[in-house]
């Protein structure tokens, strides 16, 4: 069974951060044989004075394969309750993905969380139709993290929202690879130009600065910029997540 797991409002200024906490959670559950997680995506939510957040108001989501949904869910709840930062307001959302299911209500909620100030009641109302396949739970403080946790799942479902956690860095300071070689080496599904055109597999990539991939059309995607006769991955010099 494939799941989406998302957490929000789990950190403070001195903690490891929500993205690292989710990676640690998935690693801990994988070590127990409860499921194997993939890459983590960061989903930006609304910045507003009425919303409490630590630094950037973003939620973190990951896809997981598991053979035991109840055991995975209970273990995830226990891990989050035990490891979220003191004073935080953690929320956890776990969705069992069903082929052909209509997730429009969840994706709409995710989009709303990027433009509106929402309340817990809004999150629970949006989650209610999926009661058989969706777990939305609070794990301390006000529990307001359920808003971002549900929103992150909704945004991940769109397939075209969120940065992939972690930077890609060139080996040895600089490399020149074809687009196809780059994708195979760095786990990227596709490379596109700034205008969104797919880069030819034979295109030459000069890789010399750290970069980040994003989720686009359900694929791990890198944007490349023209650099003379070559292409360079768009540099990223921002925060760690």
Query: CA-CA distance, 210 to 203, in Å (whole number)?
Result: 19
Query: CA-CA distance, 29 to 221, in Å (whole number)?
Result: 27
Q: Is residue 105 domain-shared with residue 159, that is, in the same domain?
A: yes
Show which of 120, 141, 163 is a domain's final residue.
163
Q: Is residue 11 domain-shared with residue 102, that is, in the same domain?
A: yes
Q: Is residue 151 domain-shared with residue 229, that is, in the same domain?
A: no
Do the bridges between strand 190-193 and strand 219-227 make them parallel or antiparallel, or are there none, so unpaired?
A: parallel
Residues 150-161 have pLDDT tens digits of 999 999 999 999
Q: What is the chain's Cα-based Rg?
A: 18
Which pLDDT band holds residue 9 (cuts at 50, 70, 90)? confident
Q: Is residue 201 domain-shared with residue 159, that is, in the same domain?
A: no
Query: CA-CA distance, 129 to 108, in Å (whole number)?
Result: 14
Task: Calculate the average pLDDT of the chain.
Answer: 92
Q: Is residue 131 domain-shared with residue 17, that is, in the same domain?
A: yes
DSSP 181-207: HHHHHHT-SEEEETT-PBPPTT-EEEE
How many whole angstroms from its chain centre is CA 43? 6
Query: Would you say residue 201 lies in a domain?
Result: yes
Q: Is residue 215 domain-shared with residue 172, that is, in the same domain?
A: yes
Query: Would you say residue 241 lies in a domain?
Result: no
Q: Is residue 100 domain-shared with residue 173, that is, in the same domain?
A: no
User: What is the reported pTM?
Assistant: 0.92
Q: Is residue 105 domain-shared with residue 179, that is, in the same domain?
A: no
Show which of 132, 163, 194 is a domain's final residue.
163
Q: Is residue 156 domain-shared with residue 172, that is, in the same domain?
A: no
- Give the residue numbers spanning the domain of 203: 167-233
Please enumerate, as own/partner, the contacts of 181-190 that have beta carbons within 8 Å and a separation of 24 or more. 181/205, 182/207, 182/222, 182/233, 187/39, 187/220, 188/213, 188/220, 188/221, 188/222, 189/219, 189/220, 189/221, 190/216, 190/219, 190/220, 190/221, 190/222
Query: Would you say residue 239 lies in a domain?
Result: no
Q: Is residue 171 domain-shared with residue 157, that is, in the same domain?
A: no
Number of separate domains in the chain: 2
Query: CA-CA distance, 222 to 200, in Å (whole number)?
Result: 13
Query: Would you say residue 240 lies in a domain?
Result: no
Residue 241 has pLDDT above 50, yes or no: no
* Predicted local confidence at residue 240, as pLDDT: 44
Beta bridge pairs of residue 211: 168, 235
Q: In CATH, what number is assigned to the domain containing residue 69?
A: 3.30.70.2200
Residues 59-82 have pLDDT tens digits of 999 999 999 999 999 999 999 999
Q: Is residue 149 domain-shared with residue 206, that is, in the same domain?
A: no
The four Cα atoms 64, 68, 69, 71 give a dihedral, to 10 degrees, of: -110
Show which of 113, 139, 163 is a domain's final residue.
163
User: Count of CB atoms within 10 A of residue 190's CB?
Assistant: 16
Residues 10-49 have pLDDT tens digits of 666 567 888 899 999 999 999 999 999 999 999 999 887 7
């Amino acid at each position: 069974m494939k799941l989406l797991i998302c957490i929000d409002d789990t950190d403070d200024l001195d903690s490891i951060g929500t993205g690292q906490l989710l990676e640690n959670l998935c690693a801990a559950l994988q070590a127990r044989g409860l499921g194997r997680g993939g890459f983590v995506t960061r989903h930006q939510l609304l910045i507003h004075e009425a919303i409490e957040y630590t630094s950037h108001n973003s939620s973190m989501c990951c896809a997981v394969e598991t053979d035991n949904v109840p055991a995975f869910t209970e273990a995830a709840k226990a891990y989050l309750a035990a490891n979220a930062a003191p004073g935080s307001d953690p929320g956890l959302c776990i969705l069992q993905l069903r082929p052909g299911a209509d997730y429009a209500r969840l994706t709409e909620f995710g989009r709303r969380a990027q433009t509106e100030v929402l309340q817990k009641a809004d999150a629970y109302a949006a989650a209610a139709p999926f009661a058989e396949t969706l777990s939305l739970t609070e794990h301390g403080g006000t529990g307001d993290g359920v808003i971002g946790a549900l929103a992150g799942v909704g945004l991940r479902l769109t397939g075209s929202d969120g940065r992939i956690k972690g930077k890609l860095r060139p080996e040895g300071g600089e490399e020149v690879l074809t687009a196809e070689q780059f994708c195979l080496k760095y786990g990227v599904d596709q490379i596109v130009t700034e205008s969104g055109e797919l880069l030819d597999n034979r295109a030459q990539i000069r890789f010399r600065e750290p970069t980040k991939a994003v989720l686009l059309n359900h694929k791990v995607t890198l944007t490349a910029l023209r650099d003379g006769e070559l292409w360079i991955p768009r540099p990223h010099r921002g925060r760690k997540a």
